Amino acid sequence: MIQKSSGSGRRILTCPAIHPCDSISPSTLLNSLVDLGGDICSYKSKVFSVNKRNARETFRQIANILLFLQEIRDTTSDLPHPVILSLSELHLTFQKIRCLLEDCTRDGTRAWMLVSSDWAANQFRIVIRGLATGLDVFPLSTVDMSNEAKDLVELIIRQVRKASFDPDPDDKKAVKDLMRIMNHFEEGIAPDPIEIRRILDHLGIDKWSSCNKEVKFLDSEIGTEFSNEENKTKLELLCSLMGFMSYCRCVIFDTVDFESQHLNGQCSNISKDLKGINVDDLKCPISLEMMSDPVTLSSGHTYDRCSILKWFRSGNATCPKTGEKLTSTELVPNLVLKGLIQQYCAENGIPVVVSRGKNRDISRTVMAGSSAGEGAMKMLAGFLINKLVNGSGEEMNKAAFEIRVLTKTSIFNRSCLVESGTIPHLLKLLLSEDSNTQENSIAALLNLSKHSKGKCVIVENEGLDLIVHVLRKGLKIEAQQHAAATLYYLASVEENRVLIGENPEAIAGLVELVKNENHHCKRNALVAIFGLLVHPENHWRLLASGVVPLLLNLLRDSEREDLVTDSLAILATLAEKIDGTVAILRRGALQLLVGILDTCTSRTGKEYCVSMLLALCVNGGLDVVARLVKIPSLMGSLYSQLSEGTSRASKKASAIIKILHQFYENNSSSASVTPVLPREQFVHVW
């Protein structure tokens, strides 16, 4: 059987063509060949930024071959074996042609296809020669067909052999111009915008979003090639191209047409593929979050892979939606839905969801990767600072947005922009009355705060007060959540933890943000609070803010594992001091904590839970221990941590077990103490 492949999962300039199986029927083979030929001809309507002439010649020859194949299919029912072998070779060549045409027209690959235009032209030459060879050995005498068809085959063979399939002269000129501009970047010479536009016009890149797609493609290729030490030349070329396209995106295009709320707070219309789709159908029924890796069960219902695996690990063998027992726990990837989710995220400015545990490693971006890429970024930094200082309100907003984009996934870009002095200008924009400018500025500062020097520059320029101002009075909730995350990164420095704690509005603002319904707001605020607790003086400040009852309510009400784990982390740290223990016990938290220990699926969450219980036992005295001894389910949960928990959870669970056993032994004569385990089952763990 022969299946069509869209090639969507294939890397650029790779060809997964395979021979049809030996047992294929002649009619199936012919039908598949005709279908493949139709697919190839459908590429006529697509844009070829490079190798236009070679593509046109290919379409002409394929159209002629299709006439020949259709006559064979319509007039001959039984084909001899030599004919089938020849058609199989044609099928293989057709597959290669389709892959080549797909690469030449694939969205976001135009710059790379330009510098690869010689290679692509050679591939056109090879595949067309393959057609000629396949037709040359075709046993025409064994097939009942018209003389016109036979003459057509001979004509095709002659034409194909004469065709040169050289690179287009316009492509060669564009490549030469591009290389000259990248040399200018290396030498620190600003390129002529007219020359850049000429190259972009040749490639058909006429707007910001098209340029951004090129950058994303190049970034993904760099990530793939980074570990390949045998091809450093290709890696340097990719990095240089990425520097060029990043420069173009920021400097050449004044208007951002990206379907994002980040720049102008508006979304474009959803594409035809997404019309009529309920957004809730793109969310996991368990986590209620957008799915990153949708998989379908035997029941026909789809869930996010990480969520359904947790469901199974909890001992469930049923479909969460229907409750029916599953005949199989096999997970089938739902690639169609995954594509729709990615499309929806792209068209609504939502970062593409990444499966937990697979967050991207950007350590490779410490260096620019090439001299041209480094030079382009340094020039770009100067351009953006000029816009921040001298630009109009709209230009300042765009500059802040570009910095936000550039610093999101590149350590080198962060370093370059910190060194160039962007931070003081971004801090001033935090007081902007334009909500989008404020949001883009704080988001850019968030990324720059991840850089070690960036933290110092922010604090030295009195940025803490401005960030806290956004935290408390940000014009958009997104700006407030970015401010909370920025405080988290700043708090990784001891001196900053002290300064943030001493700001009377900082902790109050974080606690207030925990109350927000937005999940990201809660999460950012919680991790920032946890970071501040490293400084001992911030303990009493947090207790005074009323954070304990707020977190305990969150533990009771939240169904999100990450929020539960973060809340437990804060409470466990507070419980290490007596005043924290008192505040937690006053709220009757013991039964709640035991219940979480029994039901929580996160090993980290269980560890924090055990840690808190141990702290409550130590600081709360015999009264706490006496109450814990009376909870029947506790001992089983603690014993499970000895074998299933983290190493720290195991040690702390062992300590609690020892405390409970000693208490029981010392008070075994008291009628008020209910045995946790039968006497003969007591096990001392040291």
Determine the pLDDT at residue 549: 95
What CA–CA distances, in Å, run from 265 to 256, 262, 328, 429, 512? 12, 6, 45, 17, 24
Q: Report residue 109 as tokens.
A: 């690959």
How far lies 348's CA from each of 258, 261, 327, in Å? 9, 7, 38
Model confidence pLDDT, tens digit, residues 45-103? 999 999 999 999 899 888 888 888 888 877 766 777 777 888 888 888 899 999 999 99
The rounded distance, in Å, linking the Cα atoms of 397 and 394 is 5
Q: How far is CA 644 from the centre of its chain?
A: 31
CA dihedral over 489, 492, 497, 501, signed as positive or negative? positive
pLDDT in the model for residue 467:
97
Amino acid 268: pLDDT = 40
* Beta sheet of 332-333, edge-to-edge order: 302-304, 294-296, 332-333
Cα–Cα distance, 312 to 504 (Å, whole number): 46
DSSP string, 408-454: HS-HHHHHHHHHHT-HHHHHHHTT-S-HHHHHHHHHHHHHHTTSHHH
Conformational region of residue 323, where left means phi above 0, alpha means psi within -120 to 50, and beta covers everything else: left
| CB distance 182 to 236 below 8 Å | no
pLDDT for 281: 79
Low-confidence ranges of the chain (pLDDT < 50): 1-8, 259-261, 266-270, 353-359, 671-686
Longest dimension (CA), the chain: 110
Cα–Cα distance, 42 to 31 (Å, whole number): 17
For residue 5, the model assigns a pLDDT of: 43
d(CA 249, CA 211): 6
**Assigned token pair, 149:** 């068809």
Count other C-beta atoms under 10 Å from residue 116's C-beta.
22
Give the pairing type, strands 302-304 and 332-333: unpaired
Please name the residue that has the structure tokens 């909500």: 435
Q: Please tell me the predicted confidence (pLDDT) of residue 413.
A: 95
What is residue 462's predicted lDDT score, i.e. its pLDDT? 92
H or E, element range at 296: strand 294-296
Answer yes or no: are the C-beta atoms of 34 and 70 closer than 8 Å: yes
> Who contacts 513 (Cβ-Cβ below 8 Å, separation ≥6)?
471, 480, 481, 484, 521, 522, 524, 525
Task: Write down all domains in the chain, each with its CATH number in brackets.
Answer: 26-167 (no CATH), 169-256+363-436 (no CATH), 293-359 (3.30.40.10), 462-545 (1.25.10.10), 556-667 (1.25.10.10)
Please give the structure tokens belonging to residue 538. Answer: 């911030």
Asked whether 387 and 426 are in contact (CB, 8 A), the reply is no
The first and second tokens of residue 387, run together, are: 């816009």
